Amino acid sequence: MQEVIRLDQVSLWRRTQEEFSYDLKKTVLSVLEGKFNRPKRKLVLDGIDLVIERGDKLGIIGPNGSGKSTLLKVISGILEPTHGTLRVRGNIAPLIELGAGFDVELSVFDNIVMYGVMLGFSRREMQQRAFSILDFAELNDYYLAPVKALSSGMTARLGFAIATDVHPDILILDEVLSVGDESFMRKCQKRLDAFWQDHVTVLVVSHSMDFIRESCNRCIFLSNGSIQAAGDAKDIVDQYLDGIAPP
Partner 1 sequence: MAISLKNTARLTEVQRYWELLYVLVQRNLKARYRGSLLGVYWSLLNPLIMTGIYTAIFGDVFSPYYGDSLVDYMLAAFTGLSVIHFFSGSTSQALVSVVGNGVLLNKIKLPVSVFPVAMIASNVFQFCVGMFPLLAIVTLVRSHSLLNVLALMLPFISLVLVCTGIGLFVSALFVFFRDLPYFYELVTFVLWFSSPVFYPKDIIPDAIKPFLTLNPLIDIIDSIRDIALDGRVITIWGYGQNLGGPNLIEVFLSLMYGLLFLLMGWLCFRWWRPRFMDLL
Chain contacts with partner 1 (rule: CB under 8 A): 14-15, 20, 22-25, 27, 73, 76-81, 84-91, 94, 96-97, 100-101, 103, 105-106, 110, 113-114, 117-123, 169
Residues 6+ apart with CB under 8 A from 91: 120, 168, 169, 170
Residue (173 or 219) nearer to partner 1, CB: 173
Do residues 73 and 19 lie in contact, with contact meaning Cβ atoms separated by under 8 Å? no
CB of 214 to partner 1, least distance (A): 27
CB of 169 to partner 1, least distance (A): 7
- Say if residue 126 is exposed, middle or buried (CB neighbours under 10 Å; 0-12, 13-18, 19+): buried
Please give the distance of CA 182 from its chain centroid, rounded to a whole number: 24
Residue (22 or 131) nearer to partner 1, CB: 22
CB of 97 to partner 1, least distance (A): 7
Please give the distance of CA 49 from its chain centroid, rounded to a whole number: 19
Residue 133 CA: distances (Å) to CA of 47, 140, 158, 159? 40, 9, 8, 10
Residue (159 or 237) nearer to partner 1, CB: 159
CB of 38 to partner 1, least distance (A): 12
Residue (176 or 216) nearer to partner 1, CB: 176
CB of 5 to partner 1, least distance (A): 11
Half-sphere exposure of 169 (CA within 13 A, CB side): 13
Residue (35 or 38) nearer to partner 1, CB: 38
Amino acid occupying residue 31: V
CB of 191 to partner 1, least distance (A): 20
CB of 11 to partner 1, least distance (A): 12
Residue 15 phi, psi (nearest 5): -65, 140
Residue (148 or 207) nearer to partner 1, CB: 148
Identify which of 226, 246, 216 has the alpha carbon closest to the alpha carbon of residue 235. Answer: 216
Residue (21 or 183) nearer to partner 1, CB: 21
SS3 string of 99-120?
CCCCCCCCEHHHHHHHHHHHCC
